[in-house]
Amino acid sequence: MSKSEKKQHPHLGATYDILEKHPLFAVQVEIPGAHPTTISGFKSRQDAEQWIERHKAGIAKGPPQRVRFNSRPKS
């Protein structure tokens, strides 16, 4: 991949489903090429919806930045 090609966020294309698990709510996230995962512990449907919007906003920003560590000590 050349530098001019922009990488995409690995969660691009994710779909969301809000699940009621009385008394709490959960969000099932399906990411293309991955097993579905469930994020749980939301006190309300609105909290779950807000989490989805934050997740979508993070995806829209592009791929996460990788932190690179130098394994060699500086002289």
Report yes or no on whether pTM surpasses 0.85: no
Looking at the DSSP bridge assignments, the partners of residue 73 are: none
Q: Is 56 helix (H, G, I), strand (E, B) or coil?
A: helix
Q: How far apart are CA 63 and CA 9, in angstroms?
A: 4
Q: How far apart are CA 6 and CA 2, in angstroms?
A: 8
DSSP conformational letter for 2: -
Q: What is the pLDDT of residues 7-61, one digit of tens each?
A: 888 888 999 999 998 899 999 999 999 999 999 999 999 999 999 999 999 988 8
Please check whether residue 44 is in contact with residue 59, taking contact to mean a CB–CB distance below 8 angstroms: no
pLDDT for the residue numbered 69: 72
